[in-house]
Amino acid sequence: MSQLVREHTFSTGQRLQLAQGDITQEQVDAIVNAANSHLAHGAGVAGAIVRKGGSVIQAKSDQWVRVHGPVSHAEPAYTRAGNLACRYVIHSVGPCWGEGDECVKLKKAISGSLALADKLGLASIAIPAISTGIFGFPKELASQLILSAIKEYVSQNPASGLRLIRLVLFDLATLQAFISVWEQDDHLHS
């Protein structure tokens, strides 16, 4: 289980949490996978999810791509979660740093994941620091964009069924970046 570091309750009653831990151990309705557009889950968060959740996740991902084609930033894919504690894995495609329009694409990846969770009728979701690993997105900038996208989604969807949005960060450097941005945001630490 992850260690809770920060928590904020929005006026809508939805909770945003910042935690350090292993997203593959989260007991929520869905976890978000930092995926590539072909859902080839080899390294990073994606590799860990398949190793712990089982090969069924990769098999279902391959099937998704065969049926629907490559996954876009704004419209993530989803599969059942295999051996993981959650029900679903939402496969969100974050941008690679340097490909162009990275900031817009990252915010779309986050809001698309939240919208899909709502479409699936989920109450809780855990999200990693998408694109900050092998995709090279600067951690502090990603922290700002991810937190901003979540706040915007909650503000624009006050009737959302999502009651808990938990950011689960694995390494200390990423956690520190998120804490720094969180502490600078008057709406989150007041």
pLDDT, tens digit, 9 for 90 and up, residues 80-115: 999 999 999 999 999 999 999 999 999 999 999 999
Res 59: pLDDT: 94
User: Mean pLDDT, to the nearest integer, of 157-183?
Assistant: 94
- What is the pTM assigned to this prediction? 0.95
Bridge-based pairing of strands 30-35 and 124-127 is parallel
Q: Which domains are seen in the chain, by residue range?
A: 16-185 (3.40.220.10)
Tokens at 29, concatenated:
């309705």
User: CB–CB of 117/125 below 8 Å?
Assistant: yes
Token look-up 């006050």 returns 158
Q: What integer best gives the mean pLDDT of the chain?
A: 93
pLDDT tens figures, 30-61: 999 999 999 998 888 888 899 999 999 999 99
Give the total residue count for the chain: 190
User: CB–CB of 79/50 below 8 Å?
Assistant: no
pLDDT tens figures, 125-142: 999 999 998 889 999 999
Q: Can you tell me the distance from the alpha carbon of 174 to that of 99, in angstroms, rounded to the nearest whole number?
A: 21
Torsion, CA 125, CA 128, CA 131, CA 132, rounded to 10:
160
Q: Can you tell me the distance from the alpha carbon of 106 to that of 103, in angstroms, rounded to the nearest whole number?
A: 5
Cβ neighbours of residue 28 under 8 Å, at least 6 residues apart? 86, 124, 125, 126, 164, 166
